Amino acid sequence: MSARARSALPSARLLRPAAAAAALAALAAPAALAKAPFPATIPLPNGWQPEGIAVGAGTTFYAGSIPTGAVFKGDLRTGAGSVLVQAAPGRAATGLDYDRGRLFVSGATTGKAFVYDARTGALIREYQLASGGGATFVNDVAVTKRAAYFTDSSRAVLYRLALGAGGAPAPSAQTVALTGDFRLADGFNLNGIAATPDGRTLLAVQTNTGKLFRIDPRTGATRAVDLGALTLGNGDGLVLAGKTLYVVQNSDNRIRVLRLAPDLGSGTLVRTITSPSFDTPTTAALFGRRLYAVNARFSTPPGPDTTYAVVQVRA
């Protein structure tokens, strides 16, 4: 080894760890990015006025804009997103559900429902659900393998949209009259809705009375779920996971967690989820052990600069 080589050796030894560290950092960067924590809050566009949320493929989520019918598409992992469905006259967006590449959207006071391509945002079909005179508020939607079911907070009905091969929606929807224990009352009636995995039973909460109902989707027959002394006033969005039911109580700024009996005929309060970040949460969506609630901020006057967000809590 020459003297020149020996004199160069210490500097080479000093350089090697730095080079190795740089190489390791470069290799680790994608892994670190992939393991980045899911943000605790995800901002929506200013002035959005959201109400509904749904989780789609992968870590994708969707949030609608009540007054405009626009839909925001975001990523739960990164918090990034953009407007998927642009605002349009004659549209509105309250409850949302995702199924097989399609987004089903409730149309509030329009009495309508909308089905969009969840990837492109293209309108697949628009439905006039409510007919005749009188108030209507198509509020929420639950999609099963064979049909999508929409609640109307002003009428004692459900709207059933049959789904064909691959989940393709039928050309028209049917109105299913509600019978049994359910009774209309002043104010908002049936609101959030959820379905069992087999689609044979629906659950819906009545906002004004705080009652929870089982519904036979074929006949519209309803039976009150026995909750003992518990009532679910201001009940809004529902999330059903097995026999665990999450009930968002909007202006109460909390989410009740119920354990339901095997036949869904009764339920017991397990715990209550609260968060200092809640500001009138309306609906929620489950992703693993994370529950995402959208802040509607109904007590805050809406404006073009009003901020809105989706809040993550532990399920």
- pLDDT of res. 258: 98
- pLDDT of res. 36: 57
- pLDDT of res. 9: 31
- pLDDT of res. 199: 97
- pLDDT of res. 172: 97
**Residues 227, 50: Cα–Cα separation, whole Å:** 30
**Residues 81, 69: Cα–Cα separation, whole Å:** 17
Kindly report the pTM of this predicted structure.
Answer: 0.88
Q: Which residues of the chain have pLDDT under 50?
A: 1-35
CA 88 to chain centre: 21
DSSP state, residue 161: E
Q: Domain extents for the chain?
A: 1-35, 41-314
Averaged pLDDT of the chain: 91
DSSP state, residue 114: E
- pLDDT of res. 263: 97
Query: What's the length of the chain?
Result: 315
CA proximity to 70, closest of 56, 57, 51: 51
pLDDT in tens, 111-160: 999 999 999 999 999 999 999 999 999 999 999 999 999 999 999 999 99
Specify burial of residue 43 (Cβ count, 10 A radius: 0-12, 13-18, 19+): middle
CB 185 within 8 A of CB 255: no
Fold classification of 41-314 (topology level)? Methylamine Dehydrogenase; Chain H (2.130.10)
- pLDDT of res. 37: 80
How many angstroms separate the Cα of 296 from the Cα of each of 4, 63, 250, 293, 302? 72, 11, 8, 9, 10
